[in-house]
Amino acid sequence: MADEILLETEEKMQNTLDALNRELSKVRTGRANPQMLDPVRVDYYGALSPINQVGNIAVPEPSQLLIKPYDRSIVKDIEKAILAANLGVTPQNEGDQIRIVIPPLTEERRKDLVKQVKKTGEDSKVAIRNVRRDANDAIKKQEKASDISEDDSKGYQEDVQTLTDEYIEKINQSVLAKEKDLMTV
């Protein structure tokens, strides 16, 4: 039973790390990244569809995105959806495709984004610590119910702490990598 708690704890910690990496991939670095369009939803025949399902997204240059819709009739809908998503970019309608030029980031904007990234990293660390607390509580419950010995309980809690340290370090690495990416001109 305590082994199940450890497995579940690691799974929750991995999910937290994955969520952090998804969030960090949305932060704009001044280079074109198709993932920055992930929150955009296009009205396609009455259904809101992710932009990557209604067209092909290419990166012709490091500072440009090119969206070629599968159906040419929705170019205007894609343009409206990008503007509505408030991504800080202006789409250029070229008739049968949309071009997005990513403006270079100012030094001040880079610093703001670094602060945002660090805050996101801290939030993830808090989530990891909450998972640790829940796991330790579950282990202590088993100890009180005499399902496991006190020594086993301490061993499992040490394992949980080892997992916590490991995932906190992974979060730090992800945040540092994104910070370095943001500050590189």
Distance, in Å, from the CA atom of 75 to the CA atom of 167, rounded to the nearest integer, reads 43
Same domain, 97 and 113: no
Three-class DSSP category at 71: coil
Domain hosting residue 84, numbered range? 34-101
Same domain, 162 and 110: yes
Pairing of strands 64-69, 91-93: unpaired
* Six-digit token string for 120: 């996101």
**The domain that contains 135 carries what CATH number?**
1.10.132.20
Question: 160 and 111, same structural domain?
Answer: yes
Output the pTM of the full model.
0.73
Same domain assignment for residues 90 and 124 = no
Total domain count, the chain: 2
Encoded amino acid at 163, one letter = L
Q: Based on the domain organization, do 111 and 94 belong to the same domain?
A: no
CATH number at residue 80: 3.30.1360.40
Taking only the tens of pLDDT, the chain with its 185 residues reads: 778 988 999 999 999 999 999 888 877 777 778 888 888 899 888 888 898 899 999 999 888 899 999 988 899 999 999 888 877 788 999 989 999 988 887 888 888 889 999 999 999 999 999 999 999 999 999 989 888 888 988 999 999 999 999 999 999 999 999 998 888 76
Say whether both 144 and 84 belong to one domain. Answer: no
Same domain, 117 and 176: yes
Q: Are 65 and 24 in contact (CB under 8 A)?
A: no
One domain, residues 54 and 121: no
Say if residue 11 is in the same domain as residue 40. no
Same domain (yes/no): 82, 64? yes
Instruction: Specify burial of residue 123 (Cβ count, 10 A radius: 0-12, 13-18, 19+).
Output: middle
Which of 80, 101, 122 finishes a domain?
A: 101
